[in-house]
Structure 1
């Protein structure tokens, strides 16, 4: 396949960033697509350092991937933001256009939907969300597209519960709040989305029902989680964080390079190999 004319750059920014698999996934896509002039790096950047970094971007830059804590901080530095990103006030993708504009988008949300559809989950009558952080708001946005009934969020604080209810009102989702102490009840939902940090759901593993529905656990390291292991042992469908990471990265590659479809299978193989080597 022909290479691009000239050098093009992209990178992932965040803090901490050393663990990011994004370089592995994007570089695998470039290799598969024959984009020999393209590079993809990682930079340790916090909110204070972001404006200067953005100011220093030249015409060789095609795009940026953003992780915490930059997804909201970048918005004020952009020329435009997609409706998807605006819906959750979080940008994880910046495309630098030929005319110098900086366009923000959120590929986490359609990435979640694509990962679910890949496993046959097109619609669900109800769902449960474990946690109430930034990823939980993206999960609500994804569920607004596929869930026809209520979504119950299991949270540790009243403040987080209010935030989730507010996101639900904004996104048109019927969000109901339950205390984390009742989280075992979540496992009976046809679709459970776990958005919590490593170890947070381990205590729930023994409560997985005999015939579970689908678990979407957004972690990819460590993997599998205790909950995912118990879920699979009871023959429930499990979608992992690598599935989400790959699907959102596919959309980023397509936006940044203008080439579609991005090589999903090659990117997933590269991600699996990188995780196995850690």
Structure 2
């Protein structure tokens, strides 16, 4: 446990009992004076399904900034990755994150530091992390039944922030064909079409009651704006007349590259304003 005077940090908490893998653990950033009913903020990192770790300095800095700015506990999980030495593929990454969220619904917390009971969850996904969250919280059950959230998770998760996300993989490859060999084929298999793993064709899950914020930086050169434009349009189509109360977008404030978004104080401000508006 680490204390910096305003936030208590607990590292490497396992979310799969009796599993020693560091990729099945999470970190907790708990503001010392956060209200008892403040939501949990959960950040799911990207990394093309093949890289990155919750211990990376960018993620730790972002989590600390979010905790201080929002006065909400922030949790950052790892999940298993696709590497050149394994055959770990989608939906395995998303299944790990779903297992983490299920764990949170019964986790007693850290004594004298943090009690999660009854807190709503607001989720954030960056890049591949956005695909992971939309694979779970839009209805992919007809393709991947293992990604079906149980009722306690659907009731706890109230909002999702998507940033620099990958959603329509065929569209991504049409614009960046080199991504097939770099990471798409490894994470999803090498095939002609990825329509069944693209989340811009999925419907709303029955029993969910979500608010969405879709963020994209105008300066992102790794994942371009059509990804977020397509997801924003898809979500608005799903909600119909209620779209303006369910789906927000922010495509014009940030102007930095893909990973630099997470280093930007403006990104924290955008997320904090969204969170404040939900409470």
TM-score norm. by structure 2 comes to 0.34
TM-score norm. by structure 1 comes to 0.34
